[in-house]
Amino acid sequence: MKLVIANWKMNHLRRDAEAFCATLLASYKPVEGVVAGIAPPYPLLPVLARLCAGSPVRLYAQNAHAEARGAYTGEVSMAQIQDAGCTAVLLGHSERRQYCAETEATLLPKIKAACAQGLLPMLCIGETLAQRDANETLDVLRRQLAILPEAAPESLAIAYEPVWAIGTGRVATVAQIAEVHAFIRKELTTLLGAAGAEVPILYGGSVTPDNFAEIMRVPHVAGGLVGGASLDASKFLKLLEIAGA
* Closer Cβ to ligand PGA, 4 or 17, answer by number: 4
From candidates 61, 206, 223, 238, binder to ligand PGA by CB under 6 A: 206
Smallest distance from the beta carbon of 168 to ligand PGA, in angstroms? 7
Instruction: Tell me how crowded residue 89 is: count the other CB atoms within 10 A of its CB.
Output: 25
| Total interface residues for ligand PGA by CB under 6 A | 13
Q: Which of 89, 42, 85 is nearest to 66 (CA)?
A: 89
Single out the catalytic residue among 95, 102, 127, 161.
Answer: 161
Q: Which of 28, 48, 46, 47 is nearest to 38 (CA)?
A: 48
* Closer Cβ to ligand PGA, 122 or 192, answer by number: 122
The span of 26-34, 51-59, 70-78, 204-212 binding ligand PGA (CB under 6 A) equals 204-212
The residue ranges of DSSP E strands in 144-235, in sequence order, are 157-160, 201-204, 223-226
From candidates 56, 149, 167, 193, binder to ligand PGA by CB under 6 A: 167
From candidates 205, 215, 220, 240, binder to ligand PGA by CB under 6 A: 205
161 flagged as catalytic? yes
181 flagged as catalytic? no
d(CA 147, CA 191): 9
Phi, psi of 176 (to 5 degrees): -65, -45
Q: Which of 235, 207, 203, 244 is nearest to 220 (CA)?
A: 203
What DSSP designation does 8 have?
A: -
Q: Of residues 218-237, which lie at the interface with ligand PGA (CB under 6 A)?
A: 225-229
Residue ranges that bind ligand PGA, judged by CB under 6 A: 7, 161, 166-167, 204-207, 225-229
Q: Which residues are catalytic?
A: 93, 161
